[in-house]
Amino acid sequence: MRKLGLIVKREYLTRVKTKGFVIGTLAVPLLGLAFCLMIVFLVNHKTESSLRFAIVDNSDGLSQSVVQGLNSKLEDGKPEFVVEQTFVRPADSDAVQTDLRNKINAGTLDAYLLIPAKNTDSFELHMRNPDNFSQIGPLSGALDQSVITQRLSQQGVHVDDLKSVLKGADLKLLKVSDRGEAEEKGQSIGIAIALVVLLYTSLLMYGIITMRSVIEEKTTRTMEVLISAVRPFELLAGKILGVAAAAFTQFAIWMTSTALLFSYGALAAMGMGGKSMLSGVHVPPSLILYATLFFFGGYFLYSAMFAAVGAACSNEQDAQQLQWLAMGPLVFCMIIYSVILNDPSSKMAVILSEIPFFAPVLMSLRISLQTPPLWQIALSLGLLVLTTIVMIWLSAKIYRVGVLMYGKRPSLIEMARWLRYS
């Protein structure tokens, strides 16, 4: 136990003291803050200058109602759209259009709108930059409204307040759970996806860190010195626990800063005039508890697998070929998760989430969407713990043989044979 403690301590300190760790740990919250601020800025940002445009109206006066609909204002109070000229049923439409195109190229005009004779034909907007969606949106809306009004009145329907008639039904989504009902605003899916991504990336990232650390001891030939002092199992366990301690330190810092960011970030967002996107997001404590349990199980399972891969390889190149063994199940989770998102209690979802290699990600996902029966959670967790213990035992065997093997990358058959060596 004393030796295990020494190994954990060394692994932890050498990791936490690196520049990479300090920078990474601080940079993520800062980048997150910058990202939030940027989104808030972009959401609130509108085009600065008015769109100067002309209308070539081949219909019988539709341009009037279009112009009336274009009443949106810029932040500084100026109108967003300025109609410079209107040509109603010009004699030579082509000549007028050529002239307008010249003006656009000369920069004295931004665009011109061509209204067809019949409102069932296409309208055309000619401009230098047709990808400017923020301006095309309101213009297109005004066109829709004018055309619909015109058609209705052509059929003899008189509509004073079109908006009130066309207003759609308001559908509220309510999530039923054993704690009663709560209004669903899409946050369950948001939390679920965030959880899947978080579990996937952290299991993968720390697994690979563990693998690299084993390979480093092999390439620097530190291994034999170490295993002349400690048992390979102690070395393996110490490494996994040491990396885990560093990982949780980083996580704790990230979580704390994210919590601060959420509260201050939401305030900042509201201060800048945007609606807080985060209000109403509520993560149930039971989900945090379960996700943590599954994360721990998954962490030890995958770390043991990655450590075994590292022990079997002599260098990073070999490891890149062999690491799919450990990465495969995780990648599969990312491919399959949308199926479970659609129907979290389907037979396939239940079966997949009971398989220990998928359980950390997929069972957490199911819990976040629709809490499954307790027995399913307990069974999944139980199987995960059992598999993890077996995997650590197997990895320790591969580790014991592999750490002293240099040279050719072993085949899977050779690795299986290592398990028989005492």
Interface with other proteins (CB under 8 A): 3, 6-7, 10, 14, 217, 220-231, 404, 406, 417, 422
Task: Kindly state the smallest distance separating residue 221's Cβ from other proteins, in Å.
Answer: 3
* Residue entry with tokens 């990073």: 316
Alpha helices by DSSP H, listed for 71-132, are: 93-106
Task: Kindly state the smallest distance separating residue 17's Cβ from other proteins, in Å.
Answer: 10
Tokens of 63: 């341009």
* Residue entry with tokens 């010009």: 90
**30 versus 419: smaller Cβ distance to other proteins:** 419
Tokens of 89: 């049923």
Q: Which of 296, 349, 259 is nearest to 33 (CA)?
A: 259
Type of residue found at 315: N
Task: Kindly state the smallest distance separating residue 187's Cβ from other proteins, in Å.
Answer: 45
* Residue entry with tokens 């009663």: 180
Half-sphere exposure of 217 (CA within 13 A, CB side): 25
**191 versus 308: smaller Cβ distance to other proteins:** 308
Q: Which residues pair with 81 in a beta bridge?
A: 51
Task: Kindly state the smallest distance separating residue 25's Cβ from other proteins, in Å.
Answer: 19
> d(Cα 66, Cα 89) in Å, to the nearest integer?
16
**221 versus 347: smaller Cβ distance to other proteins:** 221
**135 versus 213: smaller Cβ distance to other proteins:** 213
> d(Cα 226, Cα 185) in Å, to the nearest integer?
55
Strands (E), 45-80: 51-57
Task: Kindly state the smallest distance separating residue 13's Cβ from other proteins, in Å.
Answer: 9
Type of residue found at 89: R
Task: Kindly state the smallest distance separating residue 239's Cβ from other proteins, in Å.
Answer: 13
**17 versus 46: smaller Cβ distance to other proteins:** 17
Instruction: List phi, psi (to 5°) of 71.
Output: -110, 15
> d(Cα 87, Cα 98) in Å, to the nearest integer?
13
Task: Kindly state the smallest distance separating residue 6's Cβ from other proteins, in Å.
Answer: 5
**88 versus 230: smaller Cβ distance to other proteins:** 230
**224 versus 343: smaller Cβ distance to other proteins:** 224
Tokens of 195: 């959880």
